[in-house]
Amino acid sequence: MILAFDIGGSRIRAALWDGVALRPMGEASTPVSDTEAFIACLAGFAKGSGARGLALSIAGVVDPTSGIGIVANIPAIDGLAIGPLLQAATGLPALVLNDADCFALAEAQVGAGRGHPTSFGVILGTGVGGGLVIDGRLVSGAGGYAGEWGHGPVIKGAYALPCGCGQIGCIDTIGGARGVERLHKMTTGQSATSETVVRAWQAKDLVAMATMALWRDLIAGPLAMVVNVVGATCVPVGGGLSRAPGLVEYLDAALRAGILRAPAGPLAVPAECGADAGLLGAAMAGAAAWP
């Protein structure tokens, strides 16, 4: 048994993984500012669970060498190696992973990317994330940053915006839901939610269609370069923005036009694991770590 956690800024979800299915263990509010309370919360789920290890999916980057995480939305664990703290509290080994990596691993093993030797998972949510899986194994890379295609100064000119990472022109600033809103405001002067813009695009509104065409033009090229570099044969796409009907297919058409090979079918496809992707991926990583 692996006890998996999906750690969000407001809620913690827990589930036991037996190698076949997840068994929900409940939820709790996230202790965002108290490290001891955070550890105690997870230890409470572990007590009597019969798990052989703990695996966490968090919205942050974890250095695979030091175990130290950068978790801006949970100050209680930001800058800490919480794996050893959890092991001391529970007596169980603990693995901490980035949530986009967990998503990518779940999709590669049991989701849209199953059967593909190289799968690059893409998150289009509030911002942009990603994870790389090769031959069923997660590639975390130096510092844990492999797959972070949302960052790097790739956009130039009028749409190059300051990013929270400190650089200018990152895909993260324009590729997610907030990015759609920024682009719409920049090109029309009008404020609108991403949901409103996307619905108008689906209804063939010309203004919204121009915003979404710009969005696609700005992100499809960098994503195509990633696909060329890593040789991905499947790009599962998840996150709130991706759930808009037709959006992934719209992006896929531009992505396939930008890569060197000519795939027989779609390359970017809707993710299949849904809200449990983080739990699944964390559990699978834990199962591989403690066979």
Tokens standing for 152?
Answer: 């790097």
Q: Which fold has domain 2-99+275-289?
A: Nucleotidyltransferase; domain 5 (3.30.420)
| CA geometry: angle 152, 118, 93, nearest 5 deg | 85
Three-class DSSP category at 166: coil
Residue 139 — pLDDT band, cuts 50, 70, 90? very high
Residue 284 has pLDDT above 90, yes or no: yes
Q: Where in the chain is the domain with CATH 3.30.420.40?
A: 2-99+275-289, 112-272
pLDDT digits 0-9 by tens, 156-200 = 999 999 999 999 999 999 999 999 999 999 999 999 999 999 999
Q: Which fold has domain 112-272?
A: Nucleotidyltransferase; domain 5 (3.30.420)
pLDDT digits 0-9 by tens, 193-250 = 999 999 999 999 999 999 999 999 999 999 999 999 999 999 999 999 999 999 999 9
> What confidence score (pLDDT) does residue 75 get?
95
Crossing angle of the two packed helices 247-258 and 206-230, in degrees rounded to 10? 50
Question: What is the distance between the alpha carbons of residues 140 and 187, in angstroms, rounded to a whole number?
Answer: 37
> What confidence score (pLDDT) does residue 58 get?
95
pLDDT digits 0-9 by tens, 274-283 = 999 999 999 9
Instruction: Find out whether 4 and 49 touch, Cβ atoms under 8 Å.
Output: no
pLDDT digits 0-9 by tens, 106-136 = 999 999 999 999 999 999 999 999 999 999 9
pLDDT digits 0-9 by tens, 16-70 = 999 999 999 999 999 999 999 999 999 999 999 999 999 999 998 999 999 999 9
> What confidence score (pLDDT) does residue 108 get?
98
pTM, 2 dp: 0.94
> What confidence score (pLDDT) does residue 52 get?
95
Beta pairing, strands 11-17 & 69-70: unpaired
Residue 291 has pLDDT above 90, yes or no: no
Residue with tokens 């000119």: 157
Question: What is the distance between the alpha carbons of residues 94 and 284, in angstroms, rounded to a whole number?
Answer: 13
Provide the phi-psi class of 30: left if phi over 0, else alpha when psi is between -120 and 50, else beta.
Answer: beta
